[in-house]
């Protein structure tokens, strides 16, 4: 527990990158995506699968580089083209049927989407004009993680998913949702009280998705036969162990905000 807290405090200065935003956040998100891709593929290798690191790295870098293009070109041409090329590349990777298996192709595609496309939504939020909404990604994800951890320690009695994560409890999960909603409500009260409904929705759904992201990462580790994706962060494991919930929460915040602003015709 002490190691986890110290590691969490050491990571706190990284939030400065969120304040800076722009290309600083873009570079940080790209780096995290590439490291996470490496960890994810290494996990597959531990189970005997052989994903393509070259295709994974190239695809993720290409995705982030689409941000150099004008928004209309990026959304109408480059992103659909990117998806097409990723599918083609992963299929072509399987042409050597004597050397590669079906899971080698599918794990490559899955890794790109999981560790590349999902965290890319952080960049989309930062460039979407939603401004401070980016903070809700981390409040929902890390707020859920912290509150679920301490609530589970204090009140946890009923196992949530014992086959995936024996220490997680139903009480901890509920505490995580409550903590996320409260933090997002406080954020709205301080930053923009007019968006309280949006922030409450993000706090609620973001927390649920954050926990699904955490459990999904655990499910992969169980199948891969590994304890952690890496040892980069003491007490947490690798980058993917720490940011698995953020990878799920980022898209949720982006799409909930997009739907909210479209339905109510509100400019964020």
Q: What is the pLDDT of residues 226-266, one digit of tens each?
A: 888 877 765 567 889 889 999 999 999 999 998 888 887 66
Please count the CA atoms within 13 angstroms of the CA of 256 that sit on its side-chain side. 23
CA gap 263, 248 in Å, rounded: 23
Residues 139-167 pLDDT 10s: 999 889 888 888 888 886 878 887 778 78
- Which residues are CB-neighbours of 63 under 8 A, at least 6 positions away? 82, 116, 117, 120
What confidence score (pLDDT) does residue 5 get?
Answer: 52
Residue 110: in which H helix or E strand, if any?
A: helix 102-112
CA gap 69, 257 in Å, rounded: 23
Please determine, for residue 8, whether its predicted confidence score (pLDDT) is greater than 70.
no
User: How many angstroms separate the Cα of 244 from the Cα of each of 23, 78, 209?
Assistant: 22, 26, 10
What confidence score (pLDDT) does residue 3 get?
Answer: 45
Please determine, for residue 179, whether its predicted confidence score (pLDDT) is greater than 90.
yes
For the chain, give the percent of residues with pLDDT over 90. 57
CA gap 254, 202 in Å, rounded: 9
CA angle 124, 126, 128 (to 5 degrees): 65
Average pLDDT over residues 173-191: 93
CA gap 56, 24 in Å, rounded: 22
Nearest CA to 165 out of 82, 94, 241 is that of: 241
Model confidence band, residue 11 (pLDDT cutoffs 50, 70, 90): low
Model confidence band, residue 17 (pLDDT cutoffs 50, 70, 90): confident
Residue 161: in which H helix or E strand, if any?
A: strand 159-161
What confidence score (pLDDT) does residue 267 get?
Answer: 59
Model confidence band, residue 4 (pLDDT cutoffs 50, 70, 90): very low
Please count the CA atoms within 13 angstroms of the CA of 180 that sit on its side-chain side. 34
Residue 2: in which H helix or E strand, if any?
A: helix 2-11
């Amino acid at each position: 527990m002490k190691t986890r807290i110290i590691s969490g405090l050491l990571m706190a200065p990284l939030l400065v990158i969120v304040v800076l935003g722009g290309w600083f956040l873009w570079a940080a998100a790209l780096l995290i995506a590439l490291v996470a891709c490496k960890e994810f593929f290494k996990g597959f290798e531990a189970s005997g699968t052989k994903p393509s690191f070259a295709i994974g790295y190239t695809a993720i870098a290409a995705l982030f580089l689409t941000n150099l293009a004008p928004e209309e070109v990026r959304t109408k041409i480059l992103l659909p083209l990117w998806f097409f090329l990723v599918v083609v590349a992963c299929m072509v990777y399987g042409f050597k049927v004597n050397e590669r298996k079906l899971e080698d192709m599918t794990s490559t595609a899955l890794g790109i989407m999981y560790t590349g496309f999902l965290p890319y939504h952080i960049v989309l939020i930062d460039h979407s004009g939603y401004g401070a909404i980016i903070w809700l990604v981390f409040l929902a994800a890390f707020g859920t993680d912290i509150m679920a951890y301490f609530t589970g320690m204090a009140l946890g009695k009923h196992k949530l998913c014992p086959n995936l994560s024996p220490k997680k409890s139903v009480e901890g999960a509920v505490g995580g949702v409550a903590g996320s909603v409260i933090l997002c409500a406080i954020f709205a009260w301080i930053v923009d009280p007019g968006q309280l409904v949006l922030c409450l929705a993000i706090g609620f759904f973001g927390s649920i998705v954050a926990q699904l992201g955490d459990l999904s990462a655990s499910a992969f580790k169980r199948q891969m036969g590994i304890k952690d994706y890496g040892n980069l962060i003491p007490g947490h494991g690798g980058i993917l162990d720490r940011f698995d919930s953020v990878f799920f929460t980022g898209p949720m915040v982006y799409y909930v905000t997009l739907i909210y602003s479209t339905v109510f015709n509100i400019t964020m």
